[in-house]
Amino acid sequence: MLNDLSGLITKAREGDKRTIAVVAAEDVLILDAVRDAVAAEVMTPLLIGDKGKIEKIARRLDFDLSRVDILDNREGAAASARIAVSKVKSGEADGIMKGHIPTGDLLRAVLDKGVGLRTGRLLSHLALFQSPYYHKLLCVTDAAMNIAPDLDEKVQIIQNAVMMYHQLGIEMPKVAVAAAVEMPNSKMEATLHASLLKAMNREGALTGCIVDGPFAVDIAVSRKAALHKGVDSQVAGDCDVILAPDIEAGNMLYKALNFLGGAVCASAIIGASAPVVLTSRSDDERTKLYSIALAACIGKG
Ligand code: COD
């Protein structure tokens, strides 16, 4: 059972270390994060990109590359993404990390119908937060991949998060479907989706978790707020997962927790045959390390 994000580091270190292919690794912030992850022994990197530039940046960072594999590619970042995908397919890499490449370009390589890493499932982004103001880890999904998920896509986003929780040893995660209000309102699609998702969960069509909503975020994370508003639910004030209505709401919650809420997080895209780490330039060092560790844990068993 995972109680805080440092548990990801412990789990990533267990057994064989996973190999993460770093796409367009010729970037100072990315190599800095990779160096920290190597020092923390959470993964083995496979750097893909312009070898000359990678080595030059590594020297500046005092990052010893003598035992790090580098695949030289000077054909650009999109080609590095295709190489990373092929390394996952051949079993030489277990995960992918975004370097100096636009997010969309990397995701399109992963989604490529011919050579990508599709599994038939929806790919979704999730972020596992550790906040000083919450009594357990809190997953926010989807802040970075699915732009305006419909009901079926929301089912799959929940299933991806639940699968990750099961892998991390939490058997029955509580999922709060976020909206602006607690009552279904025909003008607010998020509330209607929430009611349907809750019903699907009650009827056994969405399993392995307890789903409730619609909940405003205060109800989802505060028992006191829930009692105050007369909401009686085992999910209210104790949720593990917040399902955001769309990418804007998810992204704002993600950024607010990181920049205003004193939280750190670990995030990844899951649902493909390997996890994808999308660290943002503005993420702090712990968030980058925890994200790499999360990717190294997913699928580890
Ligand atoms: N899971 C599985 N398959 C998908 C998914 C998904 N989440 N998204 C698209 N696909 C498949 C589609 O079924 C289709 O076959 C193919 O991929 C292309 O889909 P389109 O036409 O929607 O593809 P694009 O290129 O217009 O968009 C795909 C992106 C992932 C690039 C797009 O969803 C996107 O831009 N998402 C936001 C990414 C982003 O900017 N994040 C940064 C936030 S920090």
Q: Which strand ranges, in their side-by-side order, compose the sheet holding 69-72?
A: 69-72, 43-49, 18-23, 95-98, 276-277, 264-270, 124-130, 138-141, 241-243, 174-178, 210-215
Q: Which of 83, 243, 125, 237 is nearest to 176 (CA)?
A: 243
Ligand 1 pocket: which of 103, 105, 108, 111 to mutate (most atoms within 8 A of CB):
111
The class of domain 124-259 in CATH terms is: alpha beta
Q: Helices (H) and strands (E) in the chain — how many of each?
A: 11, 11
Reading the block at residue 46, the tokens are: 């496979």
pLDDT tens string 96-114 = 999 999 999 999 999 999 9
> 273: Cβ below 6 Å to ligand 1?
no
Cα separation, 49 vs 267, in Å, equals: 23
pLDDT tens string 140-170 = 999 999 999 999 999 999 999 999 999 888 9
Asked if the 6-118+272-296 domain carries CATH number 3.40.50.300, the reply is no
> 145: Cβ below 6 Å to ligand 1?
yes
What pTM was estimated for this model as a whole?
Answer: 0.94
Evaluate whether 6-118+272-296 and 124-259 have a shared fold.
no
Q: What are the extents of the domains in the chain?
A: 6-118+272-296, 124-259
Residue with the smallest CA separation from ligand 1 atom 44 is: 144
pLDDT tens string 186-211 = 999 999 999 999 999 999 999 999 99
> 122: Cβ below 6 Å to ligand 1?
yes
The one-letter amino acid code at 40 reads A
**9 SS3 class:** helix
